[in-house]
Amino acid sequence: MRKIVMALLLAAACTALAACGRRSTITVECERAGSDLLRIAHPAKYLLLPVEEACGEARVTLVTGSPADVAMDVRLAHDSVDYFVPMELPAGAEAVVRVEGVAPDAVFWEKVSVSDRFDTGNTDRYRPVYHHTPPYGWMNDPNGLVYKDGEYHLYYQYNPYGSMWGNMHWGHSVSRDLVHWEPLPAAIARDTMGHIFSGSAVVDRENDAGFGRDAIIAFYTSAGDSQVQCLAYSTDNGRTFTKYGGNPVLTPFDGLRDFRDPKVFRYEPAKRWYMIVSAYKEMRLYSSEDMKEWEYVGAFGDGYGVQPRMFECPDFVQLPVEGDGSRRKWVMIVNVNPGCIFGGSATEYFVGDFDGETFVCESAPETVKWLDYGKDHYATVCFSNTGSRTIAVPWMSNWQYANDTPQRQHRGANALPRELSLFTKDGETYVAADVVGEVRSLRGRTVAAGDVTVEGEKVLAELVKGLGGAFEIEADITPGDARSAGIELCNAAGEKAVVYLDMESGRLVMDRTASGVVDFGNRTEAFTAEDAAVTGPMNYVNDFALATWAPLTLCEGGTYHLDIFVDSCSVEIFVDGGRIAMTNLVFPTEAYDTVRLFAEGGAARFGDVTAYGLSM
């Protein structure tokens, strides 16, 4: 009886016409308890799956009879529908989809439908205007960043079946200028070996791997019962990839569980390819001639930097020494989770020398250098094949609350791409991360407020009015004898993001405690007792409502140049050309449209205050 009722409900829901002009209909066949087959006659292009994020994961498989068929984990709706996700159906007389783990009384059975269209028009109030996001679904780390033939390829950790983490694919977007991104179909799909975790890509100019001259070779972690490194190649400019038949190309020699995120680069002195892989508390290096056979070289990291913690998503780049372009130093970029400065995940780096075998860090092991002092800067890695430029792209979130942000149609954006360079301060070498110059092309309406001296406050009501919360503000702030001096971005709802120089503590601070929606991220999950020592017990405080800060000792002092980028759900601050970078999410219920300059305890000078509307 249940089956017949369901079939009727489904037939009623099938209103779309398939391309052939015949009505696409779904009937349900019960395979066994908890497993049903949806038989779709004259399949339309998509099966639209209703998702309810509060539900556990059910399993959905497009059944083709191939051993490569793989179940996707989807939070199919039980009580109500948050949104739909499309599953692409093959053309033909019939498509079959297996659904496992959905209760008979779930609203799913009424709401599942077919359609030739899937609307990706933006419905998220917090979808950024000028930051890269997937058109729908979940995104975390940038992957396989590679430049080739005028195109920047941005692959990314992608769940096409929901806006929470799961079903890791490599999503794909391309850009010619690092700011305008064109979404393309996912490039590498989850398979029977496991999730397609993070990794990198290179251009194989000399055909060392044998897949063709100029092939793009991608390396990713296949994450199933264990984590192993795999290779896939593309001979159509990164649009589609073929997984190598000899995968995996690298397994851990000691059975390590956390062994992932391969970054491959060319090391010319040895005329070999190198791979750096995160291995729990260290980074391991391997080398190869053909990118298929990898030999262990050595490891770095145990005991270095913030403790305790786990390493993920490495990169290893060379940057010219400030003032001496003929010398270069190596920078190991290490993404760390959990245990970071403001809780959860963040990006650290080590500066030193590398001779093809050993990386020698030039700082004491306890020295900690952050690439960004916000809370939403993670999994940052750099493009390969960009010549003398080193361009990094962060994922703009934090594992403490990434799955809980107040978004639905999509979750996850990249922070603006940054160009990396070295500078020296007080005997230490640091990395400056400044926004790429290409971002200037987004500037539209310009309002110059000139030089303003402030003691107390000065409200600039018109500076960013009407810009829809997507703008840039530049100013040279000289705090003088003021105790603090800064810029408050606010709206009529009384919400504010406050950026200021706190001269008493010697810090640049961004306070988002009253920035808008902050009541999520109220829990933190500790992985081990050791991690719990850092993250604290479960359910302790709100992880989101906080202020982040950076030491002003990184700057020369006196006057500070601030370049602030505001978008629908983010504030990024670059001080003195990226000596300090600070990236934080914010969720104001209406756009920030008013700027308040303030100085406490004295007069501060705000020089050349200028605002630009930013749009695509």
Cα of 208 vs its chain's centroid, Å: 31
Q: What angle do CA 229, 345, 182 make, to 5 degrees?
A: 65
What whole-number distance in Å separates Cα of residue 363 and Cα of residue 224? 37
Q: Does 196 bind ligand FRU (CB under 6 A)?
A: no
Q: Does 198 bind ligand FRU (CB under 6 A)?
A: yes
User: Could you please report the per-residue DSSP string of 357-414?
Assistant: S-EEESS-TT---BS--SSS-EEEEE-BS-TT--EEEEE---TTTGGGSS-SSEE--B
Phi and psi angles of residue 4, each rounded to the nearest 5 degrees, phi first = -65, -45
Which of 140/584 has CB closer to ligand FRU?
Answer: 140
Residues 489-528: x where in contact with ligand FRU by CB under 6 A, - otherwise, as a string: ----------------------------------------
Report, in Å, the least distance between residue 313 CB and ligand FRU: 5
Report, in Å, the least distance between residue 166 CB and ligand FRU: 9
- Quote the strand ranges of 280-374, DSSP E: 282-288, 295-300, 311-321, 324-336, 346-354, 359-361
Q: Does 311 bind ligand FRU (CB under 6 A)?
A: no
Q: Does 39 bind ligand FRU (CB under 6 A)?
A: no
The 8-class DSSP code of residue 355 comes to -
Q: Does 73 bind ligand FRU (CB under 6 A)?
A: no
Which single residue brings its beta carbon nearest to ligand FRU? 197
Q: Does 197 bind ligand FRU (CB under 6 A)?
A: yes
Q: Does 385 bind ligand FRU (CB under 6 A)?
A: no
Report, in Å, the least distance between residue 141 CB and ligand FRU: 5
- Looking at residue 203, its amino acid is V
- Interacting positions 163-182 with ligand FRU (CB under 6 A): 168
Residues 427-466: x where in contact with ligand FRU by CB under 6 A, - otherwise, as a string: ----------------------------------------
Residue 100, Cβ density class (10 Å: 0-12 exposed, 13-18 middle, ≥19 buried): middle
- Interacting positions 208-267 with ligand FRU (CB under 6 A): 221, 260-261
Which of 198/570 has CB closer to ligand FRU?
Answer: 198
Q: Is 329 helix (H, G, I), strand (E, B) or coil?
A: strand
Selected from 379, 489, 508, 518, the binder of ligand FRU by CB under 6 A is 379
Which of 136/211 has CB closer to ligand FRU?
Answer: 136
Asked whether the beta carbons of 312 and 260 are under 8 A apart, the reply is: yes
Of the candidates 434, 418, 430, which has an alpha carbon nearest to the alpha carbon of residue 350? Answer: 430
Which of 396/473 has CB closer to ligand FRU?
Answer: 396
Q: Is 140 helix (H, G, I), strand (E, B) or coil?
A: strand
Which of 143/584 has CB closer to ligand FRU?
Answer: 143
Report, in Å, the least distance between residue 587 CB and ligand FRU: 21
Indicate if 177 belongs to the active site.
Answer: no
142-155 residues labelled b (16+ CB within 10 A) or e (exposed):
bbbbbbbeeebbbb
Asked whether the beta carbons of 571 and 584 are under 8 A apart, the reply is: yes
- Interacting positions 127-166 with ligand FRU (CB under 6 A): 140-141, 157
209: left (phi over 0), alpha (psi -120 to 50) or beta: alpha
Catalytic residue among 36, 73, 124, 141: 141
Q: Is 614 helix (H, G, I), strand (E, B) or coil?
A: strand
Which of 39/375 has CB closer to ligand FRU?
Answer: 375
Q: How many residues bind ligand FRU (CB under 6 A)?
A: 12
Which of 221/409 has CB closer to ligand FRU?
Answer: 221
> Interface with ligand FRU by CB under 6 A: which residues?
140-141, 157, 168, 197-198, 221, 260-261, 312-313, 379
Residues labelled as active-site residues: 141
